[in-house]
């Protein structure tokens, strides 16, 4: 969205109406980013229960949350974050498949061994998502305080 259009728009001035729409979208991006930590904490607790193999672990719910954020963050122009959530969803699905395979092989436990690389991959994906969410939030908050101080001048 804005990244590619900014690049493409450097050679020729964009019509005012396009710039107005982009300003609206930019303001929505900031507002959306401001609410991301709350959604991240929801997904974090879902993923952490999967990692801890607690009785509350719900792989389907965790993958649905990641799936939704993949589509939503990308539609708001957070391309890198969108891909990170897609990776997180894939990591959760991989664990679900592995658990199902061990169950079919006769295992009674619904947990993977702590040293299983799939769990490390899930932790790493979660950390990446969290870092990107924190960055987007900081940028959005910084943007808002910049706007506030310039409107006060």
Summarize as ranges the residues that interact with another protein (CB under 8 A): 1, 5, 18, 20-22, 24-25, 28, 32, 35, 64, 67-68, 70-76, 79, 82
> C-beta of 33: minimal distance to another protein in Å?
11
Q: Which of 7, 153 has the CB closer to another protein?
A: 7
> C-beta of 91: minimal distance to another protein in Å?
16
Q: Which of 68, 144 has the CB closer to another protein?
A: 68
Q: What's the rounded Cα separation, in Å, for the pair 116 and 137? A: 32
CA R_g for the chain: 20
- H helices, E strands: number in the chain: 6, 0
Instruction: Tell me if 136 sits within 8 A of 109, measured CB to CB.
Output: no
Q: Which two tokens stand for residue 83?
A: 């891909």
Place of tokens 């799936």: 67
Instruction: Tell me if 131 sits within 8 A of 97, measured CB to CB.
Output: no
Q: Which of 86, 130 has the CB closer to another protein?
A: 86
> C-beta of 60: minimal distance to another protein in Å?
12
> C-beta of 133: minimal distance to another protein in Å?
14
Q: Which of 23, 120 has the CB closer to another protein?
A: 23
């Amino acid at each position: 969205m804005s990244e590619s259009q900014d690049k493409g728009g450097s050679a020729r001035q964009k019509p005012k109406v396009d710039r107005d729409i982009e300003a609206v979208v930019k303001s929505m991006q900031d507002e959306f980013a401001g609410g991301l930590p709350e959604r991240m904490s929801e997904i974090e607790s879902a993923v952490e229960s999967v990692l801890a193999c607690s009785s509350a672990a719900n792989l389907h719910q965790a993958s649905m949350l990641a799936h939704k954020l993949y589509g939503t963050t990308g539609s708001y122009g957070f391309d890198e974050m969108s891909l990170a959530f897609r990776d997180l969803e894939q990591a959760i699905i991989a664990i679900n498949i592995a658990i199902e395979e061990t169950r079919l092989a006769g295992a009674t436990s619904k947990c993977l061994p702590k040293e299983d690389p799939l769990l490390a991959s899930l932790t790493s994906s979660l950390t990446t998502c969290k870092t990107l969410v924190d960055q987007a939030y900081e940028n959005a908050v910084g943007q808002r305080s910049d706007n506030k101080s310039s409107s006060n001048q």
